[in-house]
Amino acid sequence: MKRPRSSAFVHLGPSKVHGVGCFTDIAIVRGELVKCWDGEDSRWIPEARAHASPQVSLIKRFGIRVRGGYWAPVDFLRISTGWYMNHSEKPNLGSDDGDVTYFALRNIKAGEELTIDYRRMDDLHDNLSRDDDLTRLSKR
């Protein structure tokens, strides 16, 4: 199914969910595609190479852990806003490809935070438990 593309811009701001989040500047209609990612700014890093990297702490903290390795930014200084999307058990964005193409699951108001369900990224690894561990550490 061909989906219409939203003309919304996604920007960063303080999140009520967790730290920094992604927000829309205008309303988004249910079913519209939302551009949050630049397909050129992510790379696959096999687990052994990631763990041997001098950037291992960045990769583990900010990368998306999946079966066999991590998806991580090509350059941690220049990343798409989508890397900042927070988790929700009732997200307002979904994906047909489980990757970087997101669409509105419902009408989204201007200024609303955009969220995805991390549990749909990979059925083997739990990115949520990693985030819970980081939250506990930062409160110490």
Give me the pLDDT at residue 136, please.
46
Give domain status of residue 61, yes or no.
no
Give me the pLDDT at residue 39, please.
73
Give domain status of residue 64, yes or no.
no
- CATH number assigned to the domain comprising residue 105: 2.170.270.10
Give me the pLDDT at residue 127, please.
62
Give domain status of residue 52, yes or no.
no
Give domain status of residue 135, yes or no.
no
Give domain status of residue 27, yes or no.
yes
CA distance 87 to 115: 6
For the chain, give the number of residues: 140
Give me the pLDDT at residue 135, please.
47
What's the pTM value of the predicted model, to 2 decimals? 0.81
> Domain tally for the chain?
1
Give domain status of residue 47, yes or no.
no
Domain span at 105: 1-39+80-121
Kindly provide the b/e burial profile for residues 7-27, where b requires at least 16 CB atoms within 10 angstroms of the residue's own CB: ebebeeeebeeeeebbbbeee
Give domain status of residue 59, yes or no.
no
Give domain status of residue 104, yes or no.
yes
Regions of the chain where pLDDT drops below 70: 1, 97-99, 121-140
